[in-house]
Structures are given as structure tokens and as C-alpha cells.
């Protein structure tokens, strides 16, 4: 049975600015994952055509009935070409996920990477992380026109990365585990729309985008060393600039302020913004209880 697993990701620094060549820092979240696996049809199943069952995107259909403009269909056609398959496998592709969708945690890229890995496992093909990442990147482009590549890189390699579009990336070694809370406003937001809006106001945003890049540059050694005070301070500054480029919203601002008031050293939105998730950093694990309690109180859902 071919199987593929991919983690979620959270962007610690640099979302949006990373689209314009500024550096970004992201880490995988292995506590929440997407799993794709090939299952045989049961004897009781009437159908024998390649079938996809993905409750996360509300898909339960034969492959032939799925419209060609759906990114998942494009991905599978690409994989069949790569693997020289003339026919799709007569199996069920089951896709299960604990990653909230359209919420800034990379659910789309995680779905792609899990499916790619499941196909390569099913057909005993050896593809490395870089090849998996580049296939996932092609599909990211069909989700939103100008992705930076940060999502697919972090999720394919499954490690913390310092990433710069057009220049490549480096895997970061973190000295210590961050006491990071990830929580959801419950508001779904469409990455492509937010990215496009930032682009439409590029002239006004340009200086802020550079400022976000400088924050990510400064944050890198702090993240590697686990300098919580410096990371927290820079997270707060990063959130302020994200507000300035107009990708925050009332709920995200309330959430980061609440987290800070209840002991977080730093807090910011993560991902595209205008809803979705945010992150809060605590100095010690014991501080996390109070912060989480305050976030639940304002209606946020704790993811991690």
C-alpha cells in the first residue's frame, strides 16, 4: 500500500515579503499532518475505477469525473506522466488531514506532497525531497499565481528553513524547541486574494516589505540560538508591518494582543492573514497554559 505523509508549516517570519524576494523563515509542524494512501477496493465496492476520497476537501469521486482544472487532478496527471503510467491505478486514494484548510498552515502544499509521496511509494520510485518540492511548487502555482515556494520547500523537506525566492534556501538547525502556540481565528481566507491585494498596493507597501525582510534577516541567528526574547520582539515587529500592508484583521489583532497581555513574549499572524492562524511564543512551557486559556476565552481554537 503506497503511503505519503506531509506536515503542516508555520511561517515564523516573512510572509508576503517572501513573494518579493525577501527572506522568510518557516518550520514544519509535524503534530498536524496530511496522509495519502492507496487502498484496495473492498469486495462489496461495485466500482473499480481509480477513486479519490478526501473528506478534507469534500471530494469523493472517480478520477474520471473530477474536473481537469482542480489542482489535485493536475497533480495526478503530472505524476502519471512522470511515472509513465498509461492508466490510473485501480485503487482508492484516501487523503486524510488534521491540518485546517485555508488557514495559513500550508494545507494545500501538504496535500500535494502527501499525494506525491504516496504515488512514489506505490510505484517504488525514488525521488528526493528537492524533486518532490518542485512538483508541489508547480501545483502551488495553480492555487495562487505567484507563490514564493516557501510552503512547498518547508513541507517537502520537513525541516525549518531560511528561504529566499530566486536564491534558494538553507535548512536551519535549532538549538532548542520553541514554546510556540498555534491557534486559529476560525476565519478562512483565500491566499491568492490576499497576495493579489498586496500586489495591487505594491507601491505603498514596498518599504514595509523591505522592513519585513530585514526582520527575517535579524531573526535567523535568534531562531537558531533559541533567543526567545529576541524572537518574540521581532515577531511583534513583524506583525506590526503585516498590519501596515493590510493583511491583518480585527480578530488577528485581538488575538495577538490577548496573547501578549497573558504572557506571550511575541505574537503574530502566520500565513496569508485576514483570518486563519496566528502564533504566540512563550518563554517557558508553563506560561503556555495561561496564554492558551486567554485565547480560548476570545473564541480562538488552539491547534498546538
7 binds ligand PMV (CB under 6 A): no
The answer to whether 104 contacts ligand PMV (rule: CB under 6 A) is yes
- Collect all residues with Cβ–Cβ distance below 8 Å to 124 and sequence separation of at least 6: none
- Would you count residue 191 as binding ligand PMV (CB under 6 A)? yes
Size of the site for ligand PMV (CB under 6 A): 15
Least distance from C-beta 71 to ligand PMV, angstroms?
A: 13
For the chain, report the end-to-end CA distance as a whole number of angstroms.
30
Nearer to ligand PMV, 191 or 248 (CB): 191
The rounded distance, in Å, linking the Cα atoms of 136 and 155 is 9
Q: Does 18 bind ligand PMV (CB under 6 A)?
A: yes
Out of 7, 15, 99, 120, which residue is the one contacting ligand PMV (CB under 6 A)? 15
**Nearer residue to ligand PMV within complex by CB, 52 or 269:** 269
Nearer to ligand PMV, 39 or 192 (CB): 192
219 binds ligand PMV (CB under 6 A): no
Query: Which window, 11-19, 177-185, 215-223, 255-263, contacts ligand PMV (CB under 6 A)?
Result: 11-19
C-alpha distances in Å from residue 244, one per residue of 8, 17, 146, 212:
27, 12, 21, 11
Query: Cα separation of 160 and 178, whole Å?
Result: 12
b/e sequence 42-69, b meaning 16+ C-beta within 10 Å: eeeeeeeebbbebebbeeebebeebeee
Is the Cβ of residue 88 or residue 271 nearer to ligand PMV in the bound state? 271
Q: Which range touches ligand PMV (CB under 6 A), out of 31-39, 61-69, 144-152, 172-180?
A: 144-152
19 forms part of the interface with ligand PMV (CB under 6 A): yes
Q: Among residues 89 and 106, whose Cβ is nearest to ligand PMV?
A: 106
By three-state DSSP, how is residue 159 classified?
Answer: coil
**Rounded to the nearest whole angstrom, what is the least distance from the CB of residue 50 to ligand PMV in the complex?**
28
Q: How far apart are CA 116 and CA 153, in angstroms?
A: 14
DSSP 174-222: PSS--EEEEEE-S----HHHHHHHHHHTHHHHHHHHHHHHHHHHHHHHH
Choosing from 95, 150, 279, 282, the residue that interacts with ligand PMV (CB under 6 A) is: 150
Residues of this chain that bind ligand PMV (CB under 6 A): 15-16, 18-19, 104-106, 147-148, 150-151, 191, 195, 271-272
Amino acid at each position: 500500500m503506497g503511503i505519503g505523509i506531509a506536515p503542516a508549516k508555520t511561517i515564523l517570519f516573512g510572509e508576503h515579503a517572501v513573494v518579493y524576494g525577501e527572506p522568510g523563515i518557516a518550520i514544519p509542524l509535524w503534530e498536524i499532518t496530511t496522509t495519502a494512501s492507496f487502498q484496495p477496493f473492498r469486495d462489496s465496492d461495485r466500482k473499480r475505477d481509480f477513486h479519490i476520497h478526501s473528506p478534507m476537501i469534500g471530494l469523493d469521486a472517480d478520477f474520471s469525473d473530477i474536473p481537469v482544472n482542480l489542482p489535485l487532478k493536475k497533480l495526478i496527471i503530472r505524476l502519471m506522466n512522470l511515472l509513465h503510467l498509461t492508466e490510473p491505478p485501480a485503487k482508492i486514494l484516501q487523503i486524510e488531514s488534521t491540518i485546517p484548510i485555508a488557514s495559513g498552515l500550508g494545507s494545500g502544499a501538504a496535500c500535494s506532497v502527501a499525494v506525491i509521496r504516496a504515488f512514489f511509494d506505490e510505484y517504488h520510485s525514488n525521488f528526493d525531497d528537492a524533486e518532490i518540492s518542485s512538483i508541489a511548487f508547480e501545483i502551488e502555482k495553480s492555487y495562487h499565481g505567484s507563490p514564493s515556494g516557501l510552503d512547498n520547500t518547508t513541507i517537502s523537506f520537513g525541516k525549518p528553513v531560511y528561504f529566499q525566492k530566486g536564491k534558494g534556501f538553507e535548512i536551519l538547525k535549532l538549538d532548542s524547541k520553541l514554546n510556540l502556540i498555534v491557534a486559529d481565528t476560525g476565519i478562512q481566507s483565500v491566499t491568492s486574494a490576499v497576495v493579489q491585494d498586496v500586489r495591487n498596493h505594491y507601491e505603498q507597501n514596498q518599504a514595509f516589505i523591505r522592513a519585513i525582510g530585514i526582520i527575517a534577516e535579524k531573526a535567523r541567528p535568534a531562531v537558531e540560538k533559541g533567543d526567545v526574547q529576541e524572537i518574540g520582539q521581532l515577531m511583534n515587529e513583524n506583525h506590526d508591518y503585516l498590519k501596515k500592508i493590510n493583511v491583518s484583521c480585527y480578530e488577528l489583532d485581538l488575538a495577538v494582543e490577548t496573547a501578549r497581555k497573558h504572557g506571550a513574549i511575541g505574537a503574530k499572524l502566520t500565513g496569508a492573514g485576514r483570518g486563519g492562524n496566528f502564533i504566540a511564543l512563550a518563554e517557558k512551557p508553563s506560561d503556555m497554559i495561561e496564554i492558551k486559556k486567554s485565547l480560548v476565552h476570545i473564541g480562538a481554537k488552539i491547534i498546538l
